[in-house]
A and B are shown apart, each in its own frame.
Chain A
């Protein structure tokens, strides 16, 4: 049984404690609370560095100190506090950094509302548990044999065929019917690889539709996209050893993952506002009358400062762009403003929750919209890598990881 230590403030009073426990139970984990004394709480500033006015946050910090001093007490940590609490947001972030800096225990940080459900937490918990449970598998650096990966995403379905550490076939189709799209992407990859389906030794599946697709094709590996994408990203970027940061701006949600030796150490998933998603860029391309594949190149010629955008909302943001065009703004400036807006929102809302260490790797279909990694570079002041086959990241990660199951 994986033990997840819960360091939190407010969950019991927000009515979501049961949801946290249900999500943990679903992924085969148990929530635990490290024992601390009253003195540990009263003296928390000496060891943690600060004491705040909310006692439950002091308790959470005291528990973090206890875990760092006794790493055997927990296999993973979740740090959860109320959304919109400034005091808690500071402490949540500091607890994450404290555990990250003093131990190798993976940490998940999340701010909740009363609307947070077990389903919202499930993928995050699954990733947390995977990093603990399959550390050996995640340490795999080379793909062996002939394997396939399918990434059943919310917007597009991707597939790759890999042989002896090389990608030999790819397929990419828009997601319509989940199963049919998976079959189509898979067929395309097989065709390009020039092999027979029967030759494939194992298939790994990830993405939103992983359970449905995985069951249908009897996949050897069905895995959430946090661990799979991390693995795929560091594999394709040749950054398997040491730290890395993976940013994946998807069709429906975004992931920011800090990785150490190919294993996620901390991550966030966001998906509340479509204004920070690939959808917004699609809408922008449509409004500008360019193909989505051309939007990025157009954006590189523009300057976001020339366009007034003061909303992150997909509706009002699009309205701002339309207004700008009617006021005579250049399409390239509008394209860059859209890229900047998405990047800025991910930077402000997600990258604050993970350790940003170089190399910073952007993956997923949106990373091919050149203006987006450029905007991220400007915000982070570091070079952003977009590896070859970045759009197939999940499928590559799945094909790589599943090859590890062929041995033994």
Chain B
């Protein structure tokens, strides 16, 4: 079965979408490739695509992310050029998560210890203090 996967690069990665595209063009894999603003879309037989994305991930294990896509690249049913403009609704989710990728990349790359983040709990204001504030405010 043919599948499509997004290969998305963190904005801080040294690997550019064009590098990925070039690597695929020069590879043995029989897939089609389309560059997008976030990375590239790869379409081909499932086993081939899975093996390919494994290879691509190795270029920058912490900076490259893979996501499944239902539609083949440029599908007229989804492509905005064919469907009266405007991004498809799911586009905004990729955009939102892409903004987090540098953080996630740094976290993946770090081998250091992880410390739990203490929850900052605010103490409730004492009624006596509230009374003072009200008096100050009204005076």
* A residues in contact (CB < 8 Å) with B: 3, 6, 30-36, 38, 41, 55-56, 59, 63
Q: Are B85 and A35 in contact (CB under 8 A)?
A: yes
> How far is B85's CA from A33's CA once the two chains are assembled, in angstroms?
5
Q: Which residues of B sit under 8 angstroms from A36, Cβ to Cβ?
A: 86-87
A33 touches B96 (CB 8 A): no
- Chain A, Cβ-Cβ closest to B96: A38
CA distance A182 to B113 in the complex (A): 86
Q: A3 contacts which chain B residues (CB < 8 A)?
A: 84
- Tell me which residues across on chain B come within 8 A of A38, comparing CB atoms: 92, 95-96
Contact among A30, A55, A56, A63 with B86 in the assembled complex (CB-CB below 8 Å) = A63
Cα–Cα, bound, A3→B86 (Å): 13
Contacts of A63 in B (CB 8 A): 86
Chain A residues lying within 8 Å of B92, measured Cβ to Cβ, are 38, 41, 55, 59
CB under 8 Å from chain A, chain B span 80-125 = 80, 83-87, 89, 92, 95-96
When A and B form their complex, which 4 residue pairs have the shortest distance between CB atoms, in order from nearest? A33-B86, A32-B84, A38-B95, A38-B92
CB proximity of A32 to chain B, nearest CB, Å: 4
Contacts of B86 in A (CB 8 A): 32-36, 63
Whether B87 contacts A35 by the Cβ 8 Å rule is yes
A30 to B84, Cβ gap below 8 A?
yes
Q: Output the least CB separation between B66 and chain A (Å).
A: 22
Residues of A within 8 A of B89 (CB): 55-56, 59
Give min CB distance, B37 to chain A, whole Å: 12
Interchain CA distance A63-B83 in the complex, whole Å: 15
Most buried by A among B83, B86, B95: B86
Docked Cα-Cα span, A38 to B37, in Å, equals 14
Q: A38-B92, A41-B92, A59-B92 are in contact. Are A31 and B87 (CB under 8 A)?
A: no
How near does chain A come to B88, taking the closest CB pair, in angstroms?
A: 9
**In whole Å, how far is B92's beta carbon from the nearest beta carbon of chain A?**
5
Once the chains bind, are A33 and B95 in contact (CB under 8 Å)?
Answer: no
Bound CA–CA A30/B87 (angstroms): 17
A244 to B73, CA, bound (A): 50
B85, B87, B89, B92 — most chain A CB neighbours (10 Å): B92
Distance A241 CA – B80 CA, assembled complex (angstroms): 41
Please give, as numbers and ranges, the residues of chain A lying within 8 Å of B95 by CB-CB distance: 38
**Nearest opposing residue in chain B for A59, CB measure:** B89
List A contacts of B87 (CB < 8 A).
Answer: 35-36
| B85:A34 contact, CB within 8 angstroms | yes
**Nearest-Cβ distance from residue A7 to partner chain B, whole angstroms:** 10
B96 and A32 contact, CB distance less than 8 A: no
**Bound form: Cα–Cα A244–B88 in Å:** 38
Q: Which residue of A lies closest to B87 (CB)?
A: A35
CA distance A38 to B95 in the complex (A): 8
Given the known A-B contacts A38-B92, A38-B96, A59-B92, are A31 and B84 also in contact in the complex, defined by CB atoms under 8 Å?
yes
User: Which residues of chain B are within 8 angstroms of A59 by Cβ–Cβ distance?
Assistant: 89, 92
**How distant is the Cα of A34 from the Cα of B89 in the complex, in angstroms?**
12
Beyond the given pairs A36-B87, A38-B92, A59-B89, 18 more chain A to chain B contacts, judged by CB atoms under 8 angstroms and listed by A's residue number, are: A3-B84, A6-B84, A30-B84, A31-B83, A31-B84, A32-B85, A33-B84, A33-B85, A34-B85, A34-B86, A35-B85, A35-B86, A35-B87, A36-B86, A38-B95, A41-B92, A59-B92, A63-B86
Q: In whole angstroms, how far apart are the Cα atoms of A63 and B86 in the complex?
A: 9
**Cα(A30)–Cα(B82), bound, Å:** 11
Q: How far is the CA of A6 from the CA of B84 in the complex (A)?
A: 10
Closest chain B residue, CB of each to CB of A63: B86
Closest to A3 in B: B84
B35-94 CB contacts (< 8 Å) to partner A? 80, 83-87, 89, 92
CA of A34 to CA of B86, assembled, Å: 5
Q: Which residue of A lies closest to B86 (CB)?
A: A33
Q: A32–B87 Cα gap in the complex (Å)? A: 11
CA distance A31 to B84 in the complex (A): 6
* Shortest Cβ distance from residue A385 to the other chain B in the assembled complex, whole angstroms: 40
- The residues of A that contact B80 with a CB separation of less than 8 Å are 33
Please report the C-alpha to C-alpha distance between residue A33 and residue B78 in the assembled complex, in whole angstroms. 12
**Whole-angstrom distance between the Cβ of B78 and the nearest chain A Cβ:** 10
Contact partners of B85 in chain A: CB under 8 A: 32-35
Identity of the chain A residue whose Cβ is nearest the Cβ of B95 in the assembled complex: A38
Closest approach, in angstroms, between the C-beta of B52 and any C-beta of chain A?
30
Contacts of B84 in A (CB 8 A): 3, 6, 30-33
Jot down 22 A-B pairs with beta carbons below 8 A, ordered by A: A3-B84, A6-B84, A30-B84, A32-B84, A32-B85, A32-B86, A33-B83, A33-B84, A33-B85, A33-B86, A34-B85, A36-B86, A36-B87, A38-B92, A38-B95, A38-B96, A41-B92, A55-B92, A56-B89, A59-B89, A59-B92, A63-B86
